Chain A
Amino acid sequence: MIWVDTILQGILLGGLYALFAAGLSLVFGIMRLVNLAHGDLIVLGAYLILLLVTMTGLSPFLAAAIAIPLMFMLGYGLQKFMLNRVLGDDILPPLLVTFGLSVVLQNALLEGFSADSQRLPAGTLSTASVEVAGINLGVLPLLTFASAVLVIVGLNQLFYRTSLGRAFRATSDDATTASLMGIKPASIFAKATSIAMIIVTIAALYLGMRSNFDPNIGPARLIYAFEAVIIGGLGSLWGTLAGGIIIGVAQTVGAAINPEWQILAGHVAFLIVLLIRPRGLFPRAVD
């Protein structure tokens, strides 16, 4: 029974990693941009929610609802005024720019909020649980997982049921031909990054309520996000959820064997998948 519990906890933890990864996967899938500042943007989102909670006394969920449009606009501006200028055939300039952005964000957050670790007040939610078939499941992990599934379902609906989704896929396939359809690739990229920032904010909400955060934890979140995206297959949204779950289960199983192995087990699982399926479990992107 304890192993069933361990695996269930791992699956729920995978929901958080899938949330970290979904925005990264979206942006990579559409514009082949690897955003090295993704983890730091999640941390920025967490601080923004914390700021709103502190200033207004709102619950983190309501504060996140306010933060979402702000992060949406930040994403639009970031893409339009910075990243679109460096996107092109050479993948190095956008990598360097997002690396620089990562450094700037970490230092700005350090300057503004100090290195002290923070946490979003989750109240009784942090300890609430429900019993299912003799296994106690935390309400917050359940909410995180449900949010991850909803985000993936929502993104799939957007991609496969809307005109904007068709434009996303067409631009991803061939931006020059897409422009012959009246699609402005730069505008499509800005919309994609804006939507990714909505997901970043949702990830930030659960990150902040489930664990402590400080300005320097962004790169580690980025690694989990990367691993989930690569395990799932670059550009595949459901694959990203599967990737998050595999890392989550590997970590909880590793921790059950020896608590020191938790983080290591996740990375080992990533390496094993990479060795067996170098393009991930459900690859969508051709290049």
Chain B
Amino acid sequence: MALLATHKLTAHYGDFQALFGVDITLDEGETIAIIGANGAGKTTLMRSIAGTLINEEPSVTFSDSVIGNRPADEIMAMGIAMVPEGRRLFPSLSVEENLLIGTYGRQHSGHWNLQTVYELFPILKERRANPGTALSGGQQQMVAIGRALMSNPRVLLCDEISLGLAPVVIRDIYKAVPKIKEAGASLIVVEQDIGQAMQVADRVYCMMEGRVTLSGTPDELSREAIHDAYFGAAV
């Protein structure tokens, strides 16, 4: 049985339907990537899993529980943490306080604590007293990832963690992914950068206009198939 799964997941913003029956699964210890163009529904899918967008009860399952209609704070306490798009650090909190707030709803012993997060991203220890929002974009992303890790989640949702960052910074950020996997978390990584997604993922889902249009392991998926699933097949 999958650790996390969506079942015919739909999502709406008012009258606008953003997801149309999305089925994805995530197994224990696995990393899956969700790729797709802007507006494909990737962030909506993440929000639906994390609970900031409430859905029908049976549409999302985690471990043995149905969580589709639970609020974000309860889902986080169960072990699903999210690195939101745009980092969303708390401006009035220092770097260290931003990390510590990650444990507010879930004090779960495990690999991750302040010390191990600082080992993963040493620059954060130097900047720990600075306001989180005074850091560079890459450093802010490190804080956002560290903040989510502090709760020792079973599933880590990473929404567009490379967005707006320089390639060299993206490489540094993605160097952390294998270490996060080794520590025991399963990951869902939302990416527009297909190459980066293919490198870290065990399986890939491609989305377009609120639907999954392609899925498989990186080896199974041809460049042409991804192109068609990403942009739509040429008529």
Contacts and interface: CB of A to CB of B under 8 A. Distances in A.
B183 to A, nearest CB: 19
Contact of B92 (A163, A169, A176): A169
Interface residues of B, number: 25
Interface string A64-100: 0000000000000000000000000000000000000
A174 interface: yes
A182 B106 contact: yes
A173 B92 CA distance: 7
Contacts of B105: 181-183
B73 A184 contact: yes
Interface string A172-195: 111011111111100000000000
A286 interface: yes
Nearest to A284: B92
Nearest to A185: B73
Contacts of B101: 166-167, 170, 178, 181, 183
Contacts of B93: 166, 169-170, 173
Interface string B128-166: 000000000000000000010001000000000000000
Contacts of B102: 181
A182 B91 contact: no
Contact of A166 (B51, B84, B88, B97): B97
B84 A180 contact: yes
A163 B104 contact: yes
B100 A163 contact: yes
Interface in B113-136: none
Contacts, number: 69
Contacts of B71: 179, 184
Chain A interface residue bracket vs B:
10 to 19
Interface stretch (B34-42, B75-83, B212-220): B75-83
Grouping DSSP codes into helix (H, G, I), strand (E, B) and loop, the A interface class, with mixed when no group exceeds half, is: helix
A183 B106 CA distance: 10
24 contacts: A163-B100, A166-B97, A166-B101, A167-B101, A169-B97, A170-B92, A173-B91, A173-B92, A174-B90, A176-B52, A177-B90, A179-B72, A179-B76, A180-B52, A180-B81, A180-B88, A181-B76, A181-B104, A181-B105, A181-B151, A182-B73, A182-B76, A182-B106, A182-B151
Interface of B: 50-52, 71-73, 76-77, 81-82, 84, 88, 90-93, 97, 100-102, 104-106, 147, 151
Interface of A: 163, 166-167, 169-170, 172-174, 176-184, 284, 286
